[in-house]
Amino acid sequence: MKQRIISRIACLLAASATLLVSGVSQASPDFPGEIATLLGMQCPPPCTLCHASPQGGDMLDKPWVGGMLTGGLKAQQVATVGPALGYVESQGTDSDTDGTADVAELRVQRNPSITGTTTPDEILCPPQYGCGARVSPRPPVDGSALVFAVVVAGFFALRTRRSK
Amino acid sequence: MRPKAAKSRLTTGARTGISLAMLESGRSRWLRVFLAPAAALIVFLVTSPAHAYNWMIKHGYGGCPVCHADPTGGELLTKYGRDMGDQFLRMRYGETGGASESGSTGTDFGGFDDFDEEDSAKPEAKQEEEKPKEEVKPAEPSKFPDFLFGAVPLPDPLLMGGSARLAWTLKEGDFRIFPMQLDVYGQLRFGDFRVGGSLGVSKVPVGSPHARAAQLTSGQGDQWNLISRSHWVGMDFMNQEITLRLGRMNVPFGLRIPEHVMWVREATRTDRESDQQGGLALAYNGSDLRGEILAIAGNYSINPDMYRERGYSLYLEYMTSSRAAVGISSLVTKAARDRLYLNETDVLRMAHGAFVRGTLGDPFVLLVEADLLKRSATEMGYVGMIQLDYEPTQGLHFIATGEVLDNGYPEGGGPTQSARVEGQGKPKLGGWLSAAWFFYTHFDVRVDAIKRQTEPFTILGQLHVYL
């Protein structure tokens, strides 16, 4: 009996902790999303716009990043993206010397580190994710997720009731 | 051959015996003579800077399907796996540890002593039992290790579990807390037929390489999405020695470690976070040899089709002794366009390597993995890890890991004429110092201090509840 009570309490605590803690945690927007928003790009650029690795987070090896760092870009601080872009734009920096300034290139979805003479310098949009994926700018509620959640919750409620 | 009855008990939680005779079979001898030295040579000679870990092997748990529903391990636990988690994983606080009582002496992947044998090894205890004594009520086994702490009893054919993992990072003074994992897993069995999978939710920043590739719902922003890392139907043959599965599964490659950002998993794109692929998989779990091959048909959470990789991935592992195993892995895929390096077209991606895991004395386990990497647009690269796990007392682990990575330098310098830098044409080194405390059944905490060349020092903390 005691074991049963402890089990139920632990279960409730864990479920509550999960729901409550998950609710308050917020991941900060990442740099690609911020750049896309600030410059009105069609989609967020890949991490390789600046980094050597597609996972980001390591060596910044692309020429145009130098201007951003000079402009005050700080790792992990998304608030520094805007001022850094502003600095690069104000300087008119043209890292790949193709005649178009870096920020102007980004605005038209082109890579500021590639000249475009031998290799296309278009910044390709990353793939879309999910079954039947579509571009969806922050819908209030994802309908399919909601339906699925209700079905799963119903299943567990039914099981719990039966087990009693 | 393991008796049929014993084999069929593997997933129902009973303990199996050890077929030592298998080790003496011709096949095993051949493998021991050729495969093990070959794999060892690859590891120690070809990939000297490379290096890995997996500490359940020190209890003789070389294989996976006894404790896990997935024939190649990970996520959902069987009833027996839950019991063993309670016995061997968690801290016992002065109670007699499971490890000292019932550790396996096995030399196979099933690797468990039969608990009947265990009883027979204690004649004094048995004699005690035989003495006529006043009737003692046997203690009812605790339900706490079960699904949802025993609050929801499950019928035998149904296995369920879940993981809630709350993480925080501290990097250059920036502290973040986020739900790393919120998943439920399940498997329903009808005789030899079974269906399994996972459902969860994720919330990652725009542009994040994580979680996206497992999305069911189609939010592309930083909202919550429903994800399924795996979902498959399967059929067992030969008393579960062979399993054929169709669906979305973990990619069989290398060491199935929990650290999904470890370079050996990230660079080969074979982590359990969201790198699963759809396809047809054939798994073999013999007494001393196991493996799986997955014919990759693509990840259908990624759109459009040009970004989907198709090909194969496999691993083969051989138990060289009761507490050591060596393995090889191979992966070849082709995609019209690379989903991470967007500007690469007609991408042939390969990874081939070897791994070793074994016990170095009782509290130490060593894991080593080394892989060669090749993409059509780059020169040859490599990735490796070596991990030493020290468990001074059951449930408490101190782990040291070394990593090396070179993703390969772009052929001719690539469109940006990049310089050779660490991780791209030059070796990049990383080190982890970690502590994990399994402080109670279902619960563990872990802290990792990670330093990688050209990256800021990071502290990662996790609180994990296995439901």
State the DSSP string of B262-329.
SHHHHTTT--TTT--EEEEEEEEE-SSEEEEEEEEEE-TTEESGGG--EEEEEEEEEEEETTEEEEEE
Longest dimension (CA), chain B: 85
Query: Which pLDDT score is estimated for A6?
Result: 52
CATH topology of domain B147-466: Porin (2.40.160)
Element (H, E) at A17: helix A2-24
Cβ–Cβ pairs < 8 A, chains A and B:
231
What's the rounded mean pLDDT across residues A13-30? 41
Length of chain B counted residue by residue:
467
Whether the per-residue pLDDT at B27 is higher than 60: the answer is no
Q: What is the pLDDT of residue B343?
A: 76
Q: Nearest CA to CA, how far is A87 from chain B (Å)?
A: 22
Nearest chain B residue to A52 by CA distance is B424
Cβ neighbours of B304 in A, within 8 Å:
127-128
Residue B438: pLDDT over 90 = yes
> Rounded to whole angstroms, how far apart are CA atoms A50 and B156?
52
Which residues in chain A have Cβ-Cβ distances shorter than 8 Å to B199? 148, 152
CA distance A91 to A113: 16
Whole-model pTM?
Answer: 0.73
Position B247 scores a pLDDT of 96
Structure tokens that stand for B74 in this block: 């990970």
What value, to the nearest 5°, has the Cα angle with vertex B384 and ends B380 and B388?
175
Sequence-distant (6+) residues with CB within 8 A of B103 are: B59, B60, B88, B113
Under DSSP, is residue B67 helix (H, G, I), strand (E, B) or coil?
A: coil
Express each pLDDT in B230-254 by its tens digit. Answer: 999 999 999 889 999 999 999 999 9
pLDDT at B129: 45
* pLDDT given for residue A158 in this prediction: 77
User: When comparing pLDDT for A137 and B376, which is higher?
Assistant: B376
Among B159, B168, B217, B227, pick the best mutation site for testing chain A contact (most A Cβ within 10 A).
B217
Q: Mutating which of B308, B416, B457 best tests the A interface, going by the most A Cβ atoms within 10 A?
A: B416
- Angle at which helices A31-39 and A81-91 cross, to 10°: 50
- For residue range B253-269, what is the model confidence (pLDDT) as tens digits? 999 898 999 999 999 99
Q: Collect all residues of chain B within an 8 Å Cβ-Cβ radius of residue A105.
A: none
CA neighbours within 13 Å on the CB side: how many for B191?
2
Which ranges in chain B are annotated with CATH 2.40.160.10?
A: 147-466
Residue with structure tokens 């009582």?
B101
Query: Which of A21, A29, A128 has its CA nearest to residue B182?
Result: A21
Residue closest to B253 by CA, chosen among B178, B360, B331, B197: B331
Euclidean distance between CA atoms A104 and A101, whole angstroms: 5
Name residue, tokens 């999978």.
B197
What is the complex's ipTM, to 2 decimals?
0.74
